[in-house]
Structure 1
């Protein structure tokens, strides 16, 4: 039986017979991998001797963009039965029962990242001894994907968004030319859709747009095919592109007298192409943005899109690839605050359709028949209509099929170049390198490049998803972070071999696989061993492969980070009885605070967690302090912050005041008390009612002034009262104030760690008692006299 199977397999693979699948996954999927014209050239253009293709059998479909009769006219056979085909091609993955044994298949499988939802498909491929080629993995010599629909997604995504924008503006009380534009699939061709866009552009140029919604600014993220396709449609409208730094100036230009606001109209749109330098900024203000450094060390950067771009955008067209190790483009908190501040944002076209990705509130995909949902930022609720508060969002994951005819032609033009090799090759080695690299499995076995998939599956599926007890059988563990060309250069396999050969084990904490050779991949592995000698050996070996590639001028650099070794698996000290305190920030104030809390004898043993942006700083701070542990944390990552806060009783923030409102909101949500060491501003004051409702204490200004000043003052006053003394008067000078004789400048200050902060605090209202009378000082008066610039601006 085995020999018969082998003979049949040998006969089928490379037999020159191609099968074209009928698409069954989605009602709207009308694309085809090869059009009738492509098939005609392959079958009729000299036959197998010329093209390597002998026959093409097409499964019948009444919804495919090209009719069965057209394929018949091109020399194809129409049949449900593809059993005679050695190569079967499609667009989307077929139903499992449609997969025939001992064949080669080519389609978008979405399995190479060990995507959980598609592992049954991969299991079926292995079970049926199938050879699987994935279009997504076919790249040219420069590492760019050869088979993709990106531009069509961008084109359809923007046209559909303009269609919805017209409806949304109408619900807000504005009639615009966008209202007459249909969705992409409503036009017989891309050319017809473009003509419709040009027509509304002419109407805008002639009659203008209502001044109440102008300037209308479209912010495009990314510079790849998707963004290019969206911009191609946008450029059909009257427009001007502006740089990101000109957006505030453009927005300021809409300040007109009321009469002009009601009558003047704008005759063009504005576009802004946003790159990574406009989305993030170094956390260290002394450093400049560096793209290479950002991709290698995204933890060194903070998001600024919500500060520099979003406040001026009417529409955001999201076309960028994103991984979870990078800051989000727009978090829920940031969007909610933007809308509270009166941001003109009307809607978002998330063409990437990255659920829970770079735009956090996008928690679902939409369909072509219902392409939009509305997110109400004030209530955090989602709606399917266009009327009401909030922003609209398009998140369709099958946009290219709206231009099925042109998309199929484009795709087939490229696929037909090498489908002949796939159809005629008897073995994997007969194929060119770019096709071999795209072969996930051959004859039911994973090819060497993709042998990491079962390892990833094992650690993601069989082991618990959370770090706790992830390697319970290993006494010593450490976190290893790898960044580089891990998957296309076999390096992930090499790393896992090192761990397992040495007798260690691993748990995959995080994995982001780059989309092409140009994209870095990133993995976090928790590595465990029974003794420190074995773990040290593993670490040394991993360091060696990283250093070896770093020294090779022809190899891409690999970034390797090793965390602190923990005994007994993940440090279980957080589970000990006693209060737990999280200290945010590892500056000079932190260590004395940690030492004091862990040595405090009046209550049960306190456990302290010191969290810092840089793991090394946190580790140095807690070094030698019993019951204190270190953690790496970016407080702008709300999910990570919430995870850490949820494990403690009290949070102490030693970070700058600008971080405290976001931290406080997390503490209120999780009902955790918060202590800060900096002044209260309006954003914190507004949280008082929410804190009271949650039963949470937020104790602010517990630094030097007024914190220590007030405490020492009360200590002195209490001591006086204990001795039956009477306080007649009390005056306190604290901070950087010199003696009156030396106060020879307008501010009377000689030293301040933050002059701008001191002046802003001086603008707050004040209450004091003088000669028995309570004196109230209105902060508005001081604010009027001292209009201090915010952080980041020039202070003189």
Structure 2
């Protein structure tokens, strides 16, 4: 049990108590002591309290009350409590009715120990030191009510929220108006639809429905529904809108209340699977005289990303693995959406604004989706376009998402939105009686001065000027709203520039701690919104990096900037971040331009962590771990060979390239044009730009189960100094990229044929892929002769048409949809160069399909000379696969998660090195490897004692 009211200045503690505890009003002696100074402690514990019932004053329509006169009469009789009721001339029950029940009509509630109400209390009317039971609308951190929460704390008020009064076993809410919200919302929805149809030029039986508040009680509503139902059956519905489908979401009291109203009208229940056939049969006479009802659950309107069956438990735990298909499967058939869904930001939205816009743009759907009764009234929630609550006075507004307009003109285009946030007050008599029945047992506990269970104590949000432990997260919301700095609870802010393939795991990892606000900024707002809606505390904004003012504004508002935009744009972001003293993270190589910002960053006290993805990134971390350990033992690293590749899983690699794209094809193609320099077996070798594919390593024997070839990766020699190694003492210093055998032969042929040209003269303008192929190899763009294509390929490659490479190329072009006999494969290509055009073809033809997965393979080998002269070979490897069911690629995880961990280290102040840096220092790579392991990204390390260099001797360089 718990004392709900304590003396001022003492912090209330949640703890068990061996016996009943009194509810003592602040600043006053216990009630029993005031009445009889000789009363025992036990008697004091059960002394009844003074309960106040406040007058509702949020708006003139609020006529409900927490306890009816019948409840008050019973409470006085059973507990002996004194009940004070503020006078009201608008309340559904008169002042005289409460007086007859035994209450005292009293304007001043300062004598009350606990005060019961319904809606929020104006801040200036909050009485210090009291216990309030209300719907405070603060426990989710609602921004608009943070001033109220601050007032509860400042005034030492104990706040008990009805919304948090739940069954300890099931977690279900116990005291609520949901059913009556459903009643009123459905009544208002039918009324609004009738008005809307008339405005569109169609009479309908629904025109006879009034708004809920015009009916004295539900009995009158039921009478009206019978009359309207008779008219529907007799005179019918407008042909232009038949069949009229009402789609209901949610399975709680709200939806049950809405169905209780709707079900009194003539209707047929249908399923999602029936919708297409119903639409085809829309002229069926039956649909003129009956409505259709569709009840849907998550299993009907979400689908698993990447394929697979809907799993309710998985959806609740990992909602990011699912997306909403309501816009495609259900919305096009729906006349009115009755929304009673409970939604949290972690779940996919039912309908986005763009979904609605797409529906409204379709000519064939202009007589559909006429109205939404959003009984849940979740602003910007499951329905993104639901921008605000409407009122009983002005219950409807209209959203024309196709043009971006929101208005109140019933005759203009747009879906009608009914989003009244106090619907039950339209049925105040039944709503108050129902609510009071549910509240009474806990009001009795309160009035008795004892807490007999966990329901009330668990519903406390704050008391004695402090938030309860379970609500401490609200301190950050208070700080954000009022500029209050709370120790260790200040919310952090990350600006994530870019919403591409690797952004999702990064945002997910950062969002887990719930202490970080994330702004996803992209030049593609829809893409950013699609990512942002998956997580709490994440917003999406449009950002043009060339827009200096906008960029500066967003950078200035952040603590850390994460740049996942194309690499050439990183220096621009870094320049702005340094100017505003903000740290930054990128996954790209340090360019000369970025390196030039080093001193400025140091002078500004800014850290810019680069090369913190997969390769470069965690390859640095795993390498430096072993190198540092070797140096600490007094050993020397005599050779370092590192291979890394992002590939298709073997079972999904069945194409001539043996490759599919989990990141930008352009990045893959341009990487193949780099020059390279490395050291193998004491010999320094260089490969010029354009020669990489021909100078491939035809065999890279890492694991017996994989047939790898490899390409040298840029300038490996520079990493000797970066890793703290002495290149002169090393036999080998090499970093390379893995591919499956056969990849380089195709890429080299494409390079020689001109498909990897970046020359502007190779630009492509609105050409089908087949014309792009023909023109690039020097044929007429409409060439359809396969043998002629093969001959031209052979001639350009100085081989015969029957050669293996020509045969493979023809098969590759077929797989890519580039041969003329394949017709129009995809949209025409428009690109500034042949390489960009080919990248577009690869993007659409070699992407991962449903259920397919990618693979990441990273392998280091170190030749280590120990202090005693012995020689060891030490390896560190990682093989990771994508998870199609979770909708995450291995590439996205192994790039996004390391970048997120680095961001978190900066937010925590764990990185003190300033300037333009890599994760080659212990303060980054040590915690990063540990935290990676917690996410399942784990390196396997092995040491062969007394061995000699092995891998460098077995790699076959063509």
TM-score range, shorter chain: 0.5 to 0.7
Query: Is the Cα contact below 8 Å between 1:481 and 1:525 reproduced in 2?
Result: no
Q: Deviations over 1:280-337 (max 9, x none)?
A: 111213x111122222222222221111111111111111011222222112222222
Report deviation, 1:455. Answer: 3.9
* Structure 2 CA distance for partners of 1:388 and 1:42, relative to 1, 3 Å: same
* Structure 2 CA distance for partners of 1:10 and 1:274, relative to 1, 3 Å: same
Query: Is the Cα contact below 8 Å between 1:737 and 1:750 reproduced in 2?
Result: no
The answer to whether structure 1 residue 32 and structure 2 residue 41 are counterparts is no
Q: Which residue of 2 is the match for residue 594 of structure 1?
A: 667
Q: Which residue of 2 is the match for residue 146 of structure 1?
A: 174
Report deviation, 1:126. Answer: 2.0
Aligned residue among 188, 207, 225 for 2:253: 225
Q: 5+ unaligned residues in a row in structure 1: which ranges?
A: 471-476, 485-494, 497-505, 511-520, 527-566, 579-584, 603-622, 627-676, 678-697, 718-726, 741-747, 768-790
Report deviation, 1:117. Answer: 2.1
Q: Which residue of 2 is the match for residue 743 of structure 1?
A: none
Query: Is the Cα contact below 8 Å between 2:209 and 2:224 reproduced in 1?
Result: yes
Q: Separation in 2 of the partners of 1:423 and 1:18?
A: 7
* Structure 2 CA distance for partners of 1:73 and 1:289, relative to 1, 3 Å: same
Report deviation, 1:365. Answer: 1.8
Report deviation, 1:468. Answer: 3.3
Query: TM-score under structure 2 normalisation?
Result: 0.53
Aligned residue among 55, 61, 73 for 2:82: 55
* Worse-matched range after superposition: 2-11 or 146-155: 2-11
Q: Which residue of 1 is the match for residue 280 of structure 2?
A: 252
Q: Separation in 1 of the partners of 2:229 and 2:674?
A: 74
Q: Which residue of 1 is the match for residue 877 of structure 2?
A: none
Q: Which residue of 1 is the match for residue 99 of structure 2?
A: 72
The answer to whether structure 1 residue 156 and structure 2 residue 187 are counterparts is no
The answer to whether structure 1 residue 571 and structure 2 residue 585 are counterparts is yes
Q: Separation in 1 of the partners of 2:191 and 2:29?
A: 51
Q: Separation in 2 of the partners of 1:468 and 1:760?
A: 45
The answer to whether structure 1 residue 311 and structure 2 residue 332 are counterparts is yes
Q: Which residue of 1 is the match for residue 312 of structure 2?
A: 291
Q: Which residue of 1 is the match for residue 917 of structure 2?
A: none
Q: Which residue of 2 is the match for residue 213 of structure 1?
A: 241
Aligned residue among 359, 363, 370 for 1:338: 359
Q: 1:302-451 counterparts in 2 under 5 A?
A: 302-341=323-362, 342-343=364-365, 344-425=368-449, 430-451=451-472
* Structure 2 CA distance for partners of 1:482 and 1:142, relative to 1, 3 Å: farther
* Worse-matched range after superposition: 94-103 or 753-762: 753-762
Q: Separation in 2 of the partners of 1:732 and 1:465?
A: 62
The answer to whether structure 1 residue 194 and structure 2 residue 222 are counterparts is yes
The answer to whether structure 1 residue 124 and structure 2 residue 151 are counterparts is yes
Q: Which residue of 1 is the match for residue 201 of structure 2?
A: 173
Query: Is the Cα contact below 8 Å between 1:467 and 1:570 reproduced in 2?
Result: no
Q: 1:354-753 counterparts in 2 under 5 A?
A: 354-425=378-449, 430-458=451-479, 462=483, 466-468=493-495, 481=509, 507-509=516-518, 569-571=583-585, 587-588=660-661, 590=663, 593-597=666-670, 705=770, 707=772, 709=773, 712-713=776-777, 716=778, 733=786
Q: Separation in 1 of the partners of 2:221 and 2:482?
A: 45
Report deviation, 1:705. Answer: 4.8
The answer to whether structure 1 residue 8 and structure 2 residue 28 are counterparts is yes
Task: Kindly indicate whether structure 1 or structure 2 has the higher relative contact order, using CA contacts under 8 Å at least 6 residues apart.
Answer: 2
Query: Is the Cα contact below 8 Å between 1:468 and 1:570 reproduced in 2?
Result: no
Q: Separation in 2 of the partners of 1:388 and 1:190?
A: 33
Q: Which residue of 2 is the match for residue 274 of structure 1?
A: 296
SS in 2 for 1:201: helix
Q: Which residue of 2 is the match for residue 772 of structure 1?
A: none
Query: Is the Cα contact below 8 Å between 1:210 and 1:265 reproduced in 2?
Result: no
Query: Is the Cα contact below 8 Å between 1:365 and 1:397 reproduced in 2?
Result: yes
Q: Separation in 2 of the partners of 1:452 and 1:36?
A: 39
Task: Tell me the C-alpha RMSD between the 2 structures.
Answer: 4.5
Give aligned pairs, total. 563
Q: Separation in 2 of the partners of 1:591 and 1:353?
A: 41
Q: Which residue of 2 is the match for residue 690 of structure 1?
A: none
Q: Separation in 2 of the partners of 1:125 and 1:763?
A: 64
SS in 2 for 1:270: strand
Report deviation, 1:230. Answer: 0.8
Query: TM-score under structure 1 normalisation?
Result: 0.63
